[in-house]
């Protein structure tokens, strides 16, 4: 939604103080606080200590608590919906029939087990029958349409230089481990994961009747070919370079540069009729081109079989599902498999998410929550504008551009204005494997038709029940699905301190993503374009470097360092998100008062709420993978990192020199 600036300012001044009453007797009482700990030493432990020391991670989960782990109880809700709808008589072709029969087909393990690996045997035979690189690439393109991505990382999204039009995009891919570094590290933890992955591949080959020694050789061969591809990959940190990920190239140029890939034929096989594409990581496709010319075809057959098996294993009989879990267990530390119902709930959400979401929203999401969120978002934008005006490092001309971008935001709350159409998805109650393929093919076509077309700004990138929020810089939008609009983030019964410290911090975080190290490179229209003066951008980069340096000094599991360069965008958004939410909170009646609730001042409740929304406990194996691959800092540092840089926190909890979180005021980082 576009805002006229002067009108918006007047309106927001009104809504900023629109909810001023203190809570009634049914207010939320804070629990889990460990009063034996000192807030200024480790606020995460102080706010969450009692909870952390007593909570047990469910055996079927990799962690417990808020944020992404809140999706576990969400799946229980969704499972209840699916249990009900799958047992009902639904009209053919209706939403109830499609999601209900999809779920039921996956729950029928007797039928799935009876088929064994029969559903993918024709594909394995087709791979074995390949005669040359041309036939190999034809099969790769066909499988891409069915959701089995192997050598080609195809996607569709706004053109970074013309954000109103979608463009075909190709990214690095081709590997099975979480990222390229897993192939080259030699520490014992990574070595165990490497071996677990090879064992996984070997087991999958054995389950298709391959003799043991051949299966072992195939696993090693596929792994080594993946390792060669991984060597061409950019690291997670390198991929944060927005401009380096934009390489719009003519198909004719690609055909000449990478002749083995046969780009015109490959694109035609993918259903694309275009004269240019964006190759996000060209080095990968250069390497793939070379390997297609030098690696024997028989080796490629083994590689493609391994990727077919890993892509489809969870759609097959129980031994394949068990093999997949054995690998996941080594990777994440998850003790036991999720129930089949949990797995199928997640499968329906991923395959037909908007259909299931319609049932979820009707049952669990009140319109009152959406209206309250609209007020909170408006208040946070008011607070962020005020912070821009007060910046001492930014010139007036750049401030004007920043505020124009702020008020060009689109906000999406709860669920989409229009739902996805799944009429082309053919769902049968007794054909789980085919149901998965039908949903995958529908997803592919849904994206394919967007290429070269105007961007649909109503589309969502996640399903409404998901506990998340996001900023999409190409559309200059912030999105808050229904899933996150529940405790501890948002509660209609909570006082303002808890809601501003909860969902308010998340709103501020997402707003700031439009002004972090990546988002700051996009203009108000979503194009990668410079709107900074050189001097201002240099000052901005210096401040984000401070964030990198500070977070590099944080550790988890006693010795594993946080990757400051990987997490800089999220950390910048956390630091500013706290400050913006606090400023917005101070506009409310409670924020202006000192009246205690349950022994805590309004400011103390605000900061406790921030710690509560990142209340997470994970398995060590999961945390090692998380630090290596996730752009967010671990939960502890999403609390302590921002707060040690925020002076009002010091005042609220009397943090003094000598406390472990104390930093001299001159050392406290302020970016926005």
What is the number of domains present in the chain?
2
Question: Are 398 and 488 found together in one domain?
Answer: yes
Reduced to 3 states (helix: H, G, I; strand: E, B; else coil), residue 512 is helix
Q: Report the pLDDT value the prediction gives residue 315, as an integer from 0 to 100.
A: 97
Asked if residue 344 is part of any domain, the answer here is no
Nearest to 276 by CA among 313, 309, 305, 248: 248
Tens of pLDDT, residue by residue over 235-250, are: 999 999 999 999 999 9
Is the CB of residue 671 less than 8 Å from the CB of residue 540?
A: yes
pLDDT of residue 86: 97
- Res. 10: pLDDT tops 70: no
Mean pLDDT of 314-338: 96
* Shared domain check, 387 and 305: no
* Rounded average pLDDT over 651-666: 97
Q: What CA–CA distance (Å, rounded) separates 305 from 218?
A: 9
Q: What is the mean pLDDT of the chain?
A: 94
Question: Would residue 444 count as lying in a domain?
Answer: no
Could you tell me what percent of the chain has a pLDDT over 90?
94
Q: Domain range for residue 139?
A: 117-315
Do 151 and 300 lie in one domain? The reply is yes
Separation of alpha carbons 380 and 370, rounded Å = 15
Beta bridge pairs of residue 159: 162
Say what the alpha-carbon torsion angle 213, 214, 216, 218 is, to the nearest 10 degrees: 170
Say what the pLDDT of residue 314 is. 97
CB 584 within 8 A of CB 383: yes
Single out the residue in 274, 298, 315 at which a domain terminates: 315
Torsion of CA 245, 530, 275, 472, to 10 degrees: 60
Q: Please indicate, yes or no, if residue 526 is contained in any of the structural domains.
A: yes
* pLDDT of residue 323 exceeding 90: yes
- Tell me the DSSP string of 448-488: HTTTTSBP-TT--SS-TTSS--EEETTTTEEEEEGGGSSTT
- Model pLDDT for residues 52-87, shown as the tens digit of each residue: 999 999 999 999 999 889 998 999 999 999 999 999
Question: Is the residue at 2 inside a domain?
Answer: no
The residue among 315, 340, 356 that closes a domain is 315
CB neighbourhood size of 570 (10 A): 21
Token pair of 393 as six digits:
């490092």
- For residue range 395-409, what is the model confidence (pLDDT) as tens digits? 999 999 999 999 999
Categorize the per-residue pLDDT at 372 as very low, low, confident or very high, splitting at 50, 70 and 90.
very high
Least confident of 361-370, 439-448, 469-478, 571-580: 361-370
Domain shared by 296 and 400, yes or no: no
End-to-end CA distance of the chain: 24
pLDDT of 292 reads 98
Output the domain CATH number for residue 178.
1.10.1380.10
Q: Give the pLDDT score at 25.
A: 45
Q: What is the pLDDT of residues 159-193, one digit of tens each?
A: 999 999 999 999 999 999 999 999 999 999 999 99
Residue 214 lies in a domain: yes
- Run of H or E residues at 616: strand 616-618
Q: Are residues 288 and 376 in the same domain?
A: no
146 and 238 together in one domain: yes
Q: Does the structure show a pLDDT above 60 at 341?
A: yes
Domain membership flag for residue 59: no
- What pLDDT is attached to residue 608? 98
> Is the pLDDT assigned to residue 134 strictly greater than 90?
yes
Q: How many CB atoms lie within 10 A of CB 94?
A: 12
Written as six digits, the tokens of 260 are 């083995």
pLDDT band at 26 (very low <50, low <70, confident <90, very high): low
Indicate whether 183 belongs to any domain: yes
Question: Are 256 and 402 members of one domain?
Answer: no
136-140 CB contacts, 8 Å cutoff, 24+ apart: 136/292, 136/297, 136/300, 136/304, 137/261, 137/262, 137/265, 137/266, 137/269, 138/265, 138/269, 139/304, 140/266, 140/304
| 128 and 235 within one domain | yes
Q: Are residues 374 and 299 in the same domain?
A: no
pLDDT in tens, 427-438: 999 999 999 999
- 292 to 66, 197, 225, 262, 352: CA distances (angstroms): 45, 24, 11, 11, 36
Of 3-12, 126-135, 282-291, 483-492, the poorest mean pLDDT is in 3-12
Sign of CA dihedral 415, 510, 386, 23: positive
pLDDT higher than threshold 70 for residue 21? no
Lowest mean pLDDT among 8-17, 99-108, 596-605: 8-17
Q: How far is CA 562 from the centre of its chain?
A: 18
293 and 405 share one domain: no
Q: Are residues 526 and 625 in the same domain?
A: yes
Rounded CA-CA distance 247/228 in Å is 23
Over residues 598-624, mean pLDDT: 97
Asked if residue 56 is part of any domain, the answer here is no
Asked if 242 and 518 count as a contact pair (C-beta separation under 8 A), the reply is yes
* CA angle in degrees (0–180, nearest 5) for 66-71-75: 145
Tell me the CATH number at 611: 3.40.390.10
């Amino acid at each position: 939604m576009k805002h006229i600036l002067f009108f918006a300012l007047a309106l927001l001044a009104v809504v900023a103080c629109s909810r001023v009453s203190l809570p009634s007797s049914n207010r939320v009482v804070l629990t889990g606080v460990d009063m034996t700990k000192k807030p200024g030493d480790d606020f995460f432990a102080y706010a969450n200590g009692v909870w952390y020391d007593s909570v047990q991670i469910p055996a079927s989960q990799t962690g417990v608590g808020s944020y992404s782990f809140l999706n576990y109880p969400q799946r229980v809700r969704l499972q209840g919906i699916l249990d009900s709808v799958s047992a009902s008589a639904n009209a053919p072709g209706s939403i109830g029939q499609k999601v209900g029969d999809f779920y039921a087909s996956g729950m029928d393990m007797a039928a799935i087990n009876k088929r064994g690996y029969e559903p993918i045997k024709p594909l394995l035979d087709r791979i074995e029958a390949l005669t040359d690189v041309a036939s190999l690439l034809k099969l790769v393109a066909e499988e891409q349409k069915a959701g089995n991505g192997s050598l080609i990382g195809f996607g569709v999204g706004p053109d970074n230089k013309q954000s109103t039009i979608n463009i075909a995009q190709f990214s690095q891919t081709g590997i099975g481990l979480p990222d390229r570094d897993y192939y080259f590290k030699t520490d014992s933890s990574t070595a165990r994961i490497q071996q677990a992955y090879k064992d996984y591949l070997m087991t999958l080959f054995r389950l298709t009747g391959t003799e043991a020694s051949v299966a072992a050789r195939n696993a090693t061969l596929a792994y080594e070919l993946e390792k060669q591809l991984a060597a061409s990959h950019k690291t997670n940190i390198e991929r944060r370079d927005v401009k380096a990920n934009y390489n719009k190239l003519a198909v004719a140029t690609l055909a000449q540069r990478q002749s083995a890939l046969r780009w015109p034929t490959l694109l035609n096989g993918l259903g694309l009729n275009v004269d240019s594409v964006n190759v996000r990581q060209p080095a990968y496709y250069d390497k793939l081109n070379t390997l297609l010319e030098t690696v024997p075809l028989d080796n490629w057959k083994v590689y493609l079989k391994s990727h077919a098996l890993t892509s489809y294993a969870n759609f097959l009989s129980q031994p394949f599902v068990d093999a997949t879990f054995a690998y996941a267990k080594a990777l994440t530390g998850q003790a036991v498999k999720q129930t089949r119902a949990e797995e199928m709930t997640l499968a329906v959400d991923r395959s037909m998410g908007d259909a299931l979401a319609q049932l979820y929203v009707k049952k669990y999401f009140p319109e009152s929550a959406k209206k309250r969120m609209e007020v909170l978002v408006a208040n946070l934008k008011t607070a962020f504008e005020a912070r821009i005006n007060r910046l001492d490092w930014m010139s007036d001309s750049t401030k004007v551009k920043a505020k124009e971008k702020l008020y060009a935001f689109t906000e999406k709350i709860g669920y989409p204005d229009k739902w996805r159409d799944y009429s082309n998805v053919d769902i049968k109650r007794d054909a789980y494997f085919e149901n998965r393929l039908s949903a995958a093919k529908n997803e592919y076509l849904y994206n394919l038709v967007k290429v070269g077309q105007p961007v649909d700004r109503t589309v969502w990138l996640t399903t409404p029940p998901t506990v998340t929020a996001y900023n999409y810089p190409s559309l200059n939008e912030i999105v808050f699905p229904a899933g996150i609009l529940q405790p501890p983030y948002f509660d209609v019964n909570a006082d303002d301190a808890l809601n501003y410290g909860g969902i308010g911090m998340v709103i501020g975080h997402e707003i700031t993503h439009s002004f972090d190290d990546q988002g700051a490179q996009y203009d108000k229209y979503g194009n990668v374009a410079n709107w900074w003066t050189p001097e201002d951008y240099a000052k901005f980069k210096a401040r984000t470097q401070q964030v990198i340096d500070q977070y590099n000094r944080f550790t988890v599991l006693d010795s594993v360092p946080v990757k400051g360069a990987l997490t800089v965008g999220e950390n910048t958004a956390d630091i500013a998100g706290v400050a913006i939410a606090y400023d917005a909170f101070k506009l409310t009646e409670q924020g202006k008062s000192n009246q205690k609730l349950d022994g805590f001042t309004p400011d103390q409740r605000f900061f406790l709420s921030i710690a509560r929304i990142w209340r997470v406990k994970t398995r060590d194996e999961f945390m090692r993978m998380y630090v290596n691959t996730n752009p967010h800092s671990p939960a502890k540092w999403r609390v302590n990192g921002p707060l040690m840089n925020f002076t009002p926190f010091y005042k609220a909890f009397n943090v003094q020199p000598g406390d472990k979180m104390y930093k001299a005021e001159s050392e406290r980082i302020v970016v926005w």
